[in-house]
Structure 1
């Protein structure tokens, strides 16, 4: 194998694929990236056996071939090469060595045989549809903060993607919850998605996919079965296993009769919560909201640090109520509000609170209160 490729093109692709590779691997081949040169392209593949990322790049291929080399090492080398450099890669099969040259720099890298590299077969993917990249970005960005990190409840360790109906209109819905807060965001259902099964896309896959969506492709092709999902963004392909489990019936935790409505400036509210929460204990992070017709009072107390309070103007006309929240969860939801105001719908101090963004009807958040 012998080829020449632009440093910037190679670096961008390596940044995509190397992040899939775990830093510590008990299986040496999984630390490597597969390089395959053929025609006018170099294909890079990386996998951790749950996710595989493949990217094709334009290259001047003098001699086709394939090998595998340490992903993080190759990425670090290319990252440190000067801008505008031309990178020459030559693989010598007899010595299982990859020579990398760029200007006056020269590296000799140990390789492992391409035959040892695991192939992650996607199998049959009967359901497929195309989604605008910005729609997929929105579904991910507005829900991923609520993904659970608790491994025992593995079925909550991802985003639940499924076809649903909202007021009789077919929707593609993304839901994430960790039991303390829930995010539900929907977009118009794309053609071909009506019969798709509900699938749970794992947290790491969500994170890698979000990085790939920065690549500039305007559309993403999504193909899936009950066990695997494949995203294609231009020359980039991500294949992932899905979480094998049943996502809880989340609709049951969304309250229907929260009749106390409070609207507040979202940025001023988030800043006030952040300030007051400085005093709360690290463990509980509790902040209390006292809602009255003339506004809100936010307060926090700590046996070690003292107390803090702040007054905020808000639109609220129901009976006064006091309710406590975990400030971090409150800030996570407040940061998703893109409009000027955030709308809170409450029932009482112990019932789940709904938070809406009046500028985005497709987004809904539920937050469990806490005793303070």
Structure 2
């Protein structure tokens, strides 16, 4: 194998693929990136056996071939080369590859390409296209609520499915950790209707989010009940899906909440942030006492004191006191798009719905805390 290419092109591609490679691997080949030179250019591929990222970048191919190199070492070498440099990669017969750029020479130990695993996608039964901005929004607005509790592995990702509402089909993304739930929907793209409900793992969701660089681009999505593939520009991201059943989240979303509180989102978030300064790291509880026209936020910590702040709000229901985890409140407030947040409440022991007042497509459910 012998190829020459721009340092910037190689660095960009390595930046996309090397993140998949775990820093510590018991299987040596999984620490490597597969380099394949052909007429199209240089293809780079990395995998952790659950997730695979490939990208082809233009290159001057002097001799076709393939080899594998340590992903993080190669990335660091290329990153430290000067801007505008040309990089030459040439595989030798001694199990090493020579990287040359300007006056720099590196001889890197390679492993045979035949040992590199292939995450065979099998038959992908459904395919559709979605704009990058819509996919990114589905991920951005829900991924914060993904559970990190490994015992409930089926909550360790974003659940995506198509739901029909009043005769219209919507592609929904849902995530929950048992304390809060995030749901966002967008009109279902052509080809998505009939797709199986799937759980996309947390790592794949995060990688897809990072790979979306052009919000106006169109992303190709292919999936089956076990795998999903995203075509993001020159990058192909393929991942296994979580093999489990996502809970019936619709049962968690309350329908009887009749106490409506409207508050300026930024003022509310800043007030929560201020009063929670003295809350205990373990508890993080903030009490909301709401009455006609006003909201009193308070925190009491036996070790450090108390804090109170009052806000003007739009509320004309019966007085209510309810407690929430301050961090969860701030997470949700940060996801809202409009200047005004709407809280739909019932009582101090029931889940609360939080959403933009102007009826946006994002809905959040938050479980209360005892305070």
- What TM-score, normalized to structure 1? 0.98
1:91-128 CA-to-partner distances (Å, cap 9, x unmatched) read 11x11111111112211110000000001100000111
Q: Secondary structure at the match of 1:16?
A: helix
1:313-352 aligned within 5 A: 313-352=312-351
- Partners in 2 of 1:318 and 1:167 — Cα distance? 30
What is aligned with 1:261?
A: 260
- Partners in 1 of 2:216 and 2:343 — Cα distance? 36
1:1-372 aligned within 5 A: 1-92=1-92, 94-214=93-213, 218-359=217-358, 361-372=360-371
1:160-185 CA-to-partner distances (Å, cap 9, x unmatched) read 00000123311000000000000000
- Partners in 1 of 2:6 and 2:300 — Cα distance? 57
Shift of 1:217: 6.6
Q: Secondary structure at the match of 1:296?
A: strand
Shift of 1:338: 1.0
Contact 1:29/1:117 (<8 A) preserved? yes
Q: Secondary structure at the match of 1:210?
A: helix
Shift of 1:360: 5.3
Q: Secondary structure at the match of 1:19?
A: helix
- Partners in 2 of 1:368 and 1:46 — Cα distance? 40
Q: Quick one: structure 1 residues 115 and 216, their matched pair in 2 at CA, closer, same or farther if it must change by over 3 Å?
A: farther
Contact 1:217/1:234 (<8 A) preserved? no
Shift of 1:214: 1.9
Contact 1:338/1:359 (<8 A) preserved? no
- What TM-score, normalized to structure 2? 0.98
1:323-368 CA-to-partner distances (Å, cap 9, x unmatched) read 1000111111000011111100000111000001134521100000
Count of matched residue positions in the alignment of Structure 1 and Structure 2: 371
Q: Quick one: structure 1 residues 256 and 369, their matched pair in 2 at CA, closer, same or farther if it must change by over 3 Å?
A: same
Shift of 1:215: 5.4
Q: Which ranges in structure 1 are unaligned for 5 or more consecutive residues?
A: none
1:37-81 CA-to-partner distances (Å, cap 9, x unmatched) read 111410000000000000010111111111000000001111111
Q: Which ranges in structure 2 are unaligned for 5 or more consecutive residues?
A: none
Contact 1:18/1:71 (<8 A) preserved? yes
Q: Secondary structure at the match of 1:361?
A: coil
Contact 1:172/1:190 (<8 A) preserved? yes
Structure 1 runs of 4+ with >3 Å offset? none
- Superposed CA RMSD in Å reads 1.0
- Partners in 2 of 1:5 and 1:253 — Cα distance? 54
Q: Secondary structure at the match of 2:178?
A: coil
Shift of 1:279: 0.5
- Partners in 2 of 1:146 and 1:166 — Cα distance? 23
- Indicate the larger mover: 178-187 or 314-323: 314-323
